[in-house]
Amino acid sequence: MAHAYNIEVELTKNSNLEKVDFNNLKFGQILSDHMLVADYDDGEWKSVKIVPYTNLSLSPATSALHYGQAIFEGIKAYKFADGRVSIFRPDKNFERFNKSAVRLEMPELPEEIFMGGLKKLIATDSAFVPPVDGASLYIRPFMFGTEPALGVHPSKSYKFIIITGPVGAYYNKPLRVKVETFYTRAAAGGVGFSKNAGNYALSLYPTRLAQDEGFDQLIWTDAKEHRYIEEAGTANLVFMLGDTLVTPGSETVLQGVTRHSIMDIAKSWGIKTETRDVSVQELLEGIEQGNVTEAFAAGTAATLTPISEIGYAGKLYKLPAPETREFSNKVLDYLNELRYGRIEDPFGWNFIVT
């Protein structure tokens, strides 16, 4: 029989709400009043509670700090005009979270804790969901090994935590990206598909080198030949090649929820879509021939951010001006209308909380 978890709520006595300026939000700088904390030990999830946001106390031998058993998700909640709060497709993040957990030899989360806990936490902090167009509540579920042990083995204990905070845009301008042909994000058989902390740590140095050259982000390529496009590290990549919306299909890229949603919307509009290998050569020749009319990053944090320029081997490839891009603009408008509850939700993607 499934375990029944009673998620107790301890409310804060010092709310941060009045310090929040919903009309001037950056990404990830403000955190909501409460967090969900669940502890795993002795082969089972034990306590699950919602408590005031506070620091953690950890042993310096905490295994995740040494051997990196740490995974996370990114999800967003939106406020409808009638005050209801909706989380966008959290079931997809739940599914991906458990795939990451399996690959990192961590325990899977029961639906009742991930989905039930998420719902209760967002209901508790619903006042932090911005009542403002273009803004949302960013939700960060994460789990890490807590066993104080220096031997290399799977941690025996874990913490699953969800924190949230109101956010504006992650990127506030079109991106200049560089095709990375030396450093590698992920190889076949590795952990590229999982949302683990190490995938982000390894990206920081090569990204900084690209930023020193004036780029905003990288386009990662395959580990073996650096011939095929993978993802941007902070988001998936999508291109309009001729009349077809194409996204790289490699198993080493993160299976993004926003990308998936955009491909599904395109399909429902009768646009041809393909999830397949895209070579750097195909992309760059396509740009030169005027056959690549749109290129964008798609992710929960990034939403849909146009790519303005791609750098490769010292040369810059310029894409059409973002305001001329018919599909990107239309699909972003549609996604916003849907997520803020202003149109019907034909896909059943809105998970209404309150």
CB count in 10 Å sphere of residue 110: 18
x-or-dash pattern for ligand COI, window 218-237, by CB under 6 A? ----------------x---
Minimum gap (Å) between residue 295 Cβ and ligand COI:
18
What number of other Cβ atoms are within 10 A of residue 348's Cβ?
A: 8
199 binds ligand COI (CB under 6 A): no
Q: Which is nearer to ligand COI, 74 or 165 (CB)?
A: 74
> Of these, 35, 67, 74, 341, which contacts ligand COI (CB under 6 A)?
74
Should residue 263 be labelled a site residue for ligand COI when binding is judged by CB under 6 A? no
Q: How far is the CB of 76 from ligand COI (least distance, A)?
A: 8
DSSP string, 294-332: EEEEEETTTEEEEEEEEEETTEEEEPPPGGG-HHHHHHH
Q: Is 9 helix (H, G, I), strand (E, B) or coil?
A: strand
Please identify, using beta-carbon distances, which residue of 124 and 234 lies nearer to ligand COI: 234
* Residue 261, token pair as written in the block: 């949603």
Shortest Cβ 15–ligand COI spacing (Å): 25
246 vs 291: CA distance, rounded Å = 13
Note whether 100 binds ligand COI by CB under 6 A: no
Tokens 């194409």, located at residue: 246
* Residue 51 or 197 with smaller CB distance to ligand COI: 197
168 contacts ligand COI (rule: CB under 6 A): no
> DSSP letters of 276-295?
E--BHHHHHHHHHTT-EEEE
Q: Which residues contact 39 (CB under 8 A, 6 or more apart)?
A: 45, 46, 47, 146, 157, 158, 159, 160
Phi, psi of 26 (to 5 degrees): -100, -170
Answer yes or no: are the C-beta atoms of 168 and 175 closer than 8 Å: no
Question: Of 205 and 269, which has the nearer Cβ to ligand COI?
Answer: 205
Query: Toward ligand COI, which CB reaches closer, 287 or 297?
Result: 297
Contact criterion met (CB below 8 Å) for 85 and 353? yes
What are the φ and ψ backbone dihedral angles of 29, each rounded to 5 degrees?
-100, -20
107 near ligand COI (CB under 6 A): no
Q: Give the residue among 261, 240, 260 at the shortest CA–CA distance from 324.
A: 240
Tell me: does residue 192 bind ligand COI (CB under 6 A).
Answer: no
Closest approach of ligand COI to the CB of residue 299, in Å: 4
Minimum distance from CB of 18 to ligand COI (Å)? 27
DSSP code, position 262: H
Residue 298 in tokens? 């798609």
Q: By CB under 6 A, which span of 107-115, 242-250, 298-306, 310-318 interacts with ligand COI? A: 298-306
**Should residue 308 be labelled a site residue for ligand COI when binding is judged by CB under 6 A?**
no
Q: CB nearer to ligand COI: give 30 or 292.
A: 30
Longest dimension (CA), the chain: 61
Q: Cβ-closest residue to ligand COI?
A: 74
CB half-sphere exposure, 131, CA atoms < 13 A: 6
Q: How many residues bind ligand COI (CB under 6 A)?
A: 5
Choose, by CB under 6 A, the member of 164, 247, 300, 305 that binds ligand COI: 300
Judged by beta carbon, residue 89 or residue 147, the one nearer ligand COI is: 89
Q: Which residues bind ligand COI (CB under 6 A)?
A: 74, 234, 299-301
